[in-house]
Amino acid sequence: MSEENKVVEPQNQQAETTTAPETVETKAKEMTFTQEQLDNIIKSRLDSEQKKHQRQLDEIKAKEEEALKEKQIQEAKSKQELEKLMQERISQKDSEILKYKNEIKKERIDNTIMAVASQNNAVSPSQVVALVKDQIRLTDDNRVEILDNNSNVRYNPKGELLSIEEKVKEFLDANPHFRKGSLSGSGSQSAVEGKTVKPFNIQDLDLSKPEDRAKYAEYRKKRDAGAIEINLNK
């Protein structure tokens, strides 16, 4: 039994010795590359790294573009809010200017009409103001202009702008019933063409009311037709 073992053992060692070099040689052959293969491997790895870096760059670029877009949106919102605020302030300022102009107009126009009408014995100076002021305007340079029915600026015979005083006197001359002592008797009646017209006192009219304006218009119509007596001696 021992001899058999001695014979077998060298054979096994020789087999192992013979096999080992073949395995190393095979592996050595498997790890051997040509230059072209090496170039391709390197190129593949470089391409892979380049794609990786490109993806990273694309992600960074996308984030930057998103941040820029968000910034632009915020700036647009801020600009809109600023424009809105500026528009509100402009509107507020325009309202203040209009209010100021109206105050000036009331001071320079309404009060002047009222004073001149009172000086010329107007029955109701406030009614004269209501009837005349729409024909008077105040320009941007605070110049008073009297307008005709076509909104044209009027001038006096001297070639000067017609004044408020001239306009009020002209109105009262054309409408003597607005002067004290020029109205018909408050209790009398007159008849024209068989029609009896009941007179009224114009001092009782309030021309800010539509019904009184209608009554006054009817009065003038009948007066012009001779249906109402005008007593200038009253």
Torsion angle (degrees, nearest 10) of CA 120, 124, 126, 130? -90
Residue 116: count of CB within 10 angstroms of its CB: 23
* CB atoms closer than 10 angstroms to residue 206: 13
Final residue before a domain boundary, out of 174, 197, 221: 174
Verify that 186 and 204 share a domain, yes or no.
yes
| Residue 169 sits in the same domain as residue 200 | no
> Do 153 and 193 share a domain, yes or no?
no
What is the chain's Cα-based Rg?
Answer: 55
Task: Give domain status of residue 149, yes or no.
Answer: yes
Per-residue pLDDT of the chain (234 residues; tens, 9 = 90+): 444 444 444 555 544 444 445 554 555 456 677 888 888 888 888 888 888 888 888 999 898 988 988 888 888 888 888 888 888 989 988 888 888 777 877 788 888 999 999 999 999 899 999 999 899 988 878 788 999 999 999 999 999 999 999 999 999 999 988 888 754 434 434 433 444 444 556 556 666 677 777 777 777 676 666 544 444 333
Residues 229, 185: one domain? yes
CA atoms within 13 A on the CB side of 53: 6
Please tell me the total count of domains within the chain: 2
Same domain as 187, residue 123: no
Task: Please indicate, yes or no, whether residues 159 and 207 belong to a single structural domain of this protein.
Answer: no
**Helix 125-132 with 111-119: angle, nearest 10 deg:** 130
Residue 167 CB contacts under 8 Å (≥ 6 apart), including other chains: 132, 135, 136, 146, 154
Is 47 a domain residue?
A: no
> DSSP per residue over 152-220, as a string?
PBPB-TTSSBPPHHHHHHHHHHH-GGGBTT-SPPSS--EEETTEEE----GGG--TTSHHHHHHHHHHH
Dist. CA 35–CA 46, nearest whole Å: 16
Single out the residue in 126, 146, 174 at which a domain terminates: 174
Using DSSP bridges, classify how beta strands 144-146 and 136-138 pair: parallel, antiparallel or unpaired.
Answer: antiparallel
Residue type, 233: N
Whether residues 128 and 87 fall in one domain: yes
Do both 190 and 158 map to the same domain? no
Question: Which neighbouring-strand residues pair with 137?
Answer: 145
Is 190 inside a domain boundary?
Answer: yes
Structural domain harbouring 192: 181-234
